[in-house]
Amino acid sequence: METTTTSYTRSKTTNFFYKINFIVYIFGLPNFWIEDLKLSKRFMQFYDKFSMFNNTLIFLLIIFELCSYFTQTQLTETHQSNRLIYAISHPMLFMFRVMMTSIKDRVKLVMYSLNVGLKRVHNDPEVEKQMIACTIMYLSALLLSCLMSMLMYAAEGFGEVIRHGRTFTTIITAYPKVEDASDMANVVRAICFIIWWIFLTRIFAVYILVISLTTCLSYQYKNLQSYFISLNDIFERNDLSQIEKEEQYETGFKVGIKLHADTLRCTQLTQSVCRGVFSGQIVFNILLLVVLMAQMANSERTLVNLGSAGFTACAVLISTGFYMWNAGDVTVEASHLGTAIYFSGWYHCQGVSSVRIRKLVVITMSEAQRPVVLKGLGYIDLSYQSYIRIVKSSYSVFSVLF
């Protein structure tokens, strides 16, 4: 595949992914786009330092949370359950950001290949439109579910203040004690609450990045199908002789073979880039669902408590679902490529050209029929069926333990 360059043809896809990378950058990840963002250097220098400062605060907050196991001994069942949820989720989610940042150059290469390199020869406007709409729908649903989860935890904290006269506590940290109602304690809680929301933007950024890449990859296979089917139009032209049509078809078909090979390499690179997030999300999904089911079984049956646990479970299921559904879409769309190759127009060729091209088509179709599968944890196929099995396994673990 080609190396990245700032010289490229603009399209709706590149404009859309520029906006995606702009949001990801504002949310605290590096700029993964193939050129500098349209921001002043002074602002970017300031914001990079500001983002690094916030990341340090998030890291300290996570340490502060883990230390609460040594200092916070008189907690309600709800607080104990919430602390366990945060102790599991926050370190894992923070590592997602670390992993994506550490492979910035590879992410840039995937970004360039999907949005520029593979679209240079053929970019179906209808497929492009569907890809953008699908990505927006997925991201909107995910961000809404995550926001609702965070708001319900905040509402749970306010509910404790209103109903029981307790302190506003959402995150259990080493200091202050839950029962400490001093001004200093309230200031520390407010600061931790703000840092928690900043941390949420990092989570959003990783999810936006990975889901956008996998969605674009699945639609690249649809774009490749469109390219092979479009080769059939060569034989409908009246300004070419049969020999010229066959030569043009063969040349176009060989270009399609190269595009397929580049797409497969891009798929492997996407797998290597997202492997850590895929694997971590599967483990995160199982552990957190078990804890949430235990919380719902043991905590007080109030609307706020059930709402916070329910919305969190939905956010986890939706985020894991979009990872696995998109990966499943890659497998499905890649499996349709052989059919598109078959209907590319080879049957219009005649004589010696027909024999040569048929051999080329058979070899290409056999390559296209090999399953294209993204994996998590090294061996779990990311697909619709695997998603159902993972959700069922979470309930099985819960039923065994509780």
Kindly report which listed range (122-126, 146-150, 365-369) carries the lowest average pLDDT score: 146-150
Q: Of 282 and 226, which is predicted with more confidence? A: 226
The pLDDT value given to residue 302: 61
Residue 181 has pLDDT above 90, yes or no: no
Q: Is residue 377 part of a domain?
A: yes
* Cβ neighbour number for residue 319 with a 10 Å cutoff: 22
What are the pLDDT digits (tens) for 314-353? 777 877 888 888 888 999 999 999 999 999 999 999 888 8
∠ Cα 40 42 43 (to 5°) = 65
What are the pLDDT digits (tens) for 54-112? 999 999 999 999 999 998 887 877 778 778 888 888 998 899 999 999 999 999 999 99
Residue owning tokens 């990872």: 323
How sure is the predictor about 28, in pLDDT bands with cuts at 50, 70 and 90?
A: very high
Q: Is residue 7 part of a domain?
A: no
**Strand, helix or coil at 22?**
helix
Q: Is residue 20 part of a domain?
A: yes
Q: Is residue 146 part of a domain?
A: yes
What are the pLDDT digits (tens) for 148-175? 777 777 777 777 777 776 777 778 889 9
Residue 4 has pLDDT above 70, yes or no: no
Q: Is residue 39 part of a domain?
A: yes
- Tell me how far CA of residue 266 lies from CA of 132, 212, 256, 325, in angstroms: 19, 14, 15, 19
Residue 400 has pLDDT above 70, yes or no: no
Residue 391 has pLDDT above 90, yes or no: no
Q: Is residue 372 part of a domain?
A: yes
What are the pLDDT digits (tens) for 198-242? 998 998 999 999 999 999 999 999 999 999 999 999 999 888 899
Tell me if the bond preceding 91 is cis, omega within 30° of 0: no
For residue 286, how far is the Cα from the chain centroid?
18
Q: Is residue 387 part of a domain?
A: yes
The pLDDT value given to residue 213: 94
User: What number is the average pLDDT over the span 382-388?
Assistant: 85
94 closest CA partner among 206, 210, 255, 262: 206
- Tell me the C-alpha distance between 249 and 228, whole Å: 10
Domain that holds residue 86: 12-401
Residue 25 has pLDDT above 90, yes or no: yes
How sure is the predictor about 256, in pLDDT bands with cuts at 50, 70 and 90?
A: very high
The pLDDT value given to residue 6: 58
Q: Is residue 3 part of a domain?
A: no
pTM of the complete model: 0.88
Give the H/E segment covering residue 46: helix 41-71
**Total structural domains within the chain:** 1
Terminal alpha carbon distance of the chain: 51
